[in-house]
Amino acid sequence: MKKLLVVAVVSLLAAVGAAHAADLPRRPVPQQVWNWTGLYLGAHIGAGWGQSNFDDGEGPVLYGSDVRTPAIRGGGQFGYNWQMPASSWVVGAEAEFSALGADGSGTCFATSSFIVSANCRVRQEAMAIVTGRIGYAVGPSGRTLVYVKGGGAWLREHISFSTHDQILSTRHDRFGWIVGAGLEQAITPAWSFKLDYDYADFGKMAVAAPATRELVLPNYVPLLGGPAQVSQTMQSIKLGLNLKLGADAGARWDAVPASPLGVPVKAMAAQLPAGTEIEIGGRIWYSFGRFQKDLGAMWSPLIQDPLSSRLTYTSETASGEVFGRIDTASNVVIKGIVGGGALSRGKMRDEDWLINDGWVPYSNTLSDPVHGSITYVTGDLGYDIVRDGAAKFSAFIGYNYLRDDKTAMGCVQLAGGNPFSTCLTPIPSTTAGISEKNDWHSLRIGINGVMALTERLQLTADAAYLPYVRFYGVDNHMQRVTPLLSPEFGTGQGAQLEAILSYTITPSFSVGAGGRYWAMWATGTDAYTNFSGSGSYKSVPVRNERFGGFLQASYTFDSAR
């Protein structure tokens, strides 16, 4: 599936290259009201997050039953728009196919601390949708289309259930419904750029829960698997590029104003080289983080998928950052951010299976609070394919670094009832229990679009596929008799999204608000840790998400103003 995602991204970049090739020479067209009628095809890239819920009908669970699957989504679309005569209303239909890279796991069927609960894993591979759209053309010359859509969806996914007694694995084709909304901007007479949100629901599906065992002191007794069901939803945000078939791919709008406000910038900007634009600014980002690490049970050579432990950290962070962007006269783009902040609050769940010589089938402890910090740097080098007073569209390649340090305080047992469980006597919240220090290095490949919605309102969106993610970590269980530092390593992939709506107060100064989603995961067979200290390695699938909103202010120097 990773190969399919690479193909999808290459297809999108090929479309970008086609747009650039069509740019020589530029052929201006007369100013006119834009009409959306016509066939189009295009490509998209984005990120998503799925939610699977597992239910075996045995009553309430101690913890879990929900599996979150961060995803990268890329592919192509084909559709038709019809703009009603003498009207701003636009109706149409669109078909879309996406390759998915999505992998999530979670605890399921944990109805008792005396039962060996299961590890449920969901991997999504592909998705297709067919929708009808209705929109309204707004803005100068009607070149901005605001739309809603709805229709049917298909999903190909792989679901597995594993206990220390049985592994069940199935592949499914699921069908459901989808609704969404978006914003599309005609950046030239032939090319348009869109920001699109989808919500899909695939309903409930019958599955079989795996066999397991229950501790009836002093022995274990087998439990047969029974019927269960799993429900599935998927949300995603995508950036796309469309080509209107039959239109002149090399044409550009003529008489585009140099500035949406038409007011010259301060003399300071006039000292820049002709065609150069520089934006600098600062942001406050309030984000929520989720880090999950699964430790495989490797003592049996035949059963490696069940877990011995899972640690899940959640946190909230207020961070500050500076950002900048340079668009040069040669259309080369350089942009980046540097930021960091402290965790304002957080919690950690530590789940264990068959510990204390097997006397504890399932343990779930809570550590609260979690202290720590994040530091991050992103740098991109790109090229403006389209650049005028109303829009900019670029493709880029870049690098992202994220440092995430966390220390969990205290310990309380939540899966009570077993006298052999850990933390039955709570550890105070002033005592450090477990720490996790992680470094994530990621290669970014993506697209960026800037569109002027009105004279003062501007939308900027950025989507990146992370084809190579390198993870390093160090775990420290401080409350052991002998504290042990456990190094961790893995490689994987991920996705990053960002969208900003900014308002121009003066020709140079603007303020804005936006949202950001980062997801990266290492789930391959090369992920490992020396957690036991015995020299035998255990698999460590790790997943990291961070998402939230921000406020920003920026100043722009533009030689054209």
pLDDT in tens, 137-171: 998 788 999 999 999 999 999 999 988 888 888 89
Confidence at residue 417, expressed as pLDDT on a 0 to 100 scale: 80
What six digits make up the tokens of 95? 């078909």
| Among 88, 328, 359, 81, CA closest to 216 | 359
Is-contact 234 10, C-beta < 8 A? no
Burial (0-12, 13-18, 19+ Cβ within 10 Å), 195: buried
Confidence at residue 478, expressed as pLDDT on a 0 to 100 scale: 85
Query: Distance between CA atoms of 28 and 388, rounded to whole angstroms?
Result: 12
What six digits make up the tokens of 400? 């992202």
Dihedrals phi, psi of 115, to nearest 5 degrees: -110, 140
| Among 248, 224, 228, 198, CA closest to 98 | 198
- DSSP H or E segment with residue 21: helix 2-21
Query: Distance between CA atoms of 22 and 302, rounded to whole angstroms?
Result: 57
Give pLDDT < 70 ranges for the chain.
Answer: 1-33, 254-274, 297-305, 389, 481-483, 524-538, 559-561
Q: What secondary structure, in 3-state letters, does 380-438 show?
A: EEEEEEEECCCEEEEEEEEEEEEEEEEEEEEEEECCCCCCCCCCCCCEEEEEEEEEEEE
CA 486 to chain centre: 28
Buried-exposed string 520-548: b where 16+ CB fall within 10 A, e elsewhere: bbbbeeebbbbbeeeeeebbbbbbbbbbb
Is-contact 238 8, C-beta < 8 A? no
Query: Distance between CA atoms of 302 and 296, rounded to whole angstroms?
Result: 12
The pTM for the full model equals 0.89
Q: What is the pLDDT of residues 83-102, one digit of tens each?
A: 999 999 999 999 999 999 99
First to last CA, the chain: 47
CA 128 to chain centre: 19
Is-contact 260 243, C-beta < 8 A? no
CATH 2.40.160.20 in the chain is located at 1-255
Dihedrals phi, psi of 184, to nearest 5 degrees: -125, 135
In the chain, DSSP finds a helix count (H) and a strand count (E) of 1, 25
Q: What is the largest CA-CA distance in the chain?
A: 86
CATH 2.40.128.90 in the chain is located at 277-561
For strand 27-29 and strand 370-387, is the pairing parallel, antiparallel, or unpaired? unpaired
Fold of 277-561: Lipocalin (2.40.128)
Confidence at residue 303, expressed as pLDDT on a 0 to 100 scale: 39
The DSSP secondary structure of 90-149, one letter per residue, reads EEEEEEEEEEEEEEEEEEE----TTB--EEEEEEEEEEEEEEEEEEEEESGGG-EEEEEE
Query: Distance between CA atoms of 451 and 86, rounded to whole angstroms?
Result: 25
Query: Distance between CA atoms of 73 and 129, rounded to whole angstroms?
Result: 13
What six digits make up the tokens of 416? 């009570």
Confidence at residue 481, expressed as pLDDT on a 0 to 100 scale: 57
SS3 362: strand
Beta bridge partner(s), residue 219: 216
Distances (CA, A) of 106 to 53, 69, 122: 10, 10, 9
Fold of 1-255: Porin (2.40.160)
Query: Distance between CA atoms of 551 and 279, rounded to whole angstroms?
Result: 16
Distances (CA, A) of 195 to 84, 184, 326: 23, 6, 23
CA 369 to chain centre: 26
| Among 39, 148, 53, CA closest to 106 | 53
Is-contact 413 422, C-beta < 8 A? yes
| Among 489, 542, 467, CA closest to 2 | 467
Is-contact 525 75, C-beta < 8 A? no
